[in-house]
Amino acid sequence: MVKIPHILLVDDSVEIRKAVSRYLEKNDMRVTSAADAAEMDRLLEIGRYDLIVLDVMMPGEDGISVCRRLSVTGVTPILMLTALGEEMDRIIGLEVGADDYLAKPFNPRELLARIRAILRRVTRPEHLAGRLTGQHIQFAGWTLDTDTRHLRAEDGREDTLTTSEFKLLVILLERPRIVMSREQIFELTAGRAPAAFDRSIDNQISRLRRKIEDDPGHPRIITTVRNGGYCLAADVEAQR
């Protein structure tokens, strides 16, 4: 029996909720909708969803805040809807844990394609940790638990990575001492090529550096290679 994906649509526009719900349901998806973050929270308490489509601009708690909160505590993928031309919203959304974004106004067919692409990635076994799943990964004085996304330093410092930080770090840990371009990293994290002048990877690298580098301004673990990209300049050891 084929499982029908259950989508939680969060948008304050009645028209968008109705139009998107109709379109997705015609394409073999189940949709539950919410007008704001408070209603979304109530629905998350009583139901399980395969993906959340989340608008940035909403009354009350905005989509960026919601995404940041959910990415820390949950594993449900998030596709953010942003205002046309609001590049900063898209960058921040990816930084705080969104899996993808789409600018309004959008073509419903593109929304469907983005949703299907995310679901293909996250329904694969080991979709986040890859071949490192179920292990404790040691590198540069840090230990990463790939099941809990918990990061612990030798000096006792501890942190839990957001979904986007975790995906980015795992990609680097799987390829230690290999220079990767921004485009390669973006394609591995987002499943598609980046838009022109998209700086979201640089921003995500900066956020990750602030968590693992002693001096983020002069990084020694995640280094920048001029005209090349980024490199995890450390040996990696995996333990079960």
What pLDDT, on a 0 to 100 scale, did the predictor assign at position 62? 93
Residue-wise burial string across 222-240, b where 16 or more C-beta atoms lie within 10 A, e elsewhere: bbeeeeebbbbbbebebee
- pLDDT at residue 165, as a whole number: 83
Residue type, 68: R
**Mean pLDDT estimate for the chain:** 85
Q: Are 97 and 78 in contact (CB under 8 A)?
A: yes
- Which residues are CB-neighbours of 107 under 8 A, at least 6 positions away? none
Quick one: pLDDT at residue 86? 62
Confidence label for 198 from pLDDT (cuts 50, 70 and 90): low
The rounded percent of the chain whose pLDDT value lies above 70 is: 83
pLDDT band at 125 (very low <50, low <70, confident <90, very high): very low
In CATH terms, 6-122 corresponds, of 3.40.50.300, 1.10.10.60, 3.40.50.1820, 3.40.50.2300, to 3.40.50.2300
**Domains of the chain, residue spans:** 6-122, 130-239
Which of 123-127, 213-217, 235-239 comes out lowest in average pLDDT? 123-127
Strand ranges of the sheet holding 158-160, from the earlier edge strand across to the other edge: 158-160, 150-153, 142-145, 136-139, 236-239
Measured CA to CA, the distance from residue 20 to residue 33 in angstroms comes to 10
CATH architecture of structural domain 130-239? Orthogonal Bundle (1.10)
* pLDDT tens, position by position, 139-183: 999 999 988 888 999 998 888 887 778 888 988 998 999 999 988
Q: Which one has a higher pLDDT value, 40 or 203?
A: 40
Cis ω for the linkage preceding 105 (within 30 of 0): yes
Q: What is the mean pLDDT of residues 189-195?
A: 66
Q: How confident is the model at residue 207 (pLDDT cuts 50, 70, 90)?
A: confident
Please work out, in degrees rounded to the nearest 5, the angle formed at the alpha carbon of residue 101 by the alpha carbons of 97 and 105.
150
pLDDT band at 87 (very low <50, low <70, confident <90, very high): low
Q: What is the pLDDT of residue 54?
A: 96
Q: What is the pTM of this model?
A: 0.64
Q: pLDDT grade, residue 135 (50/70/90)?
A: confident
Question: Could you tell me which residue, 89 or 49, shows the higher pLDDT?
Answer: 49
**CA-closest candidate to residue 20, choices 134, 109, 142:** 109
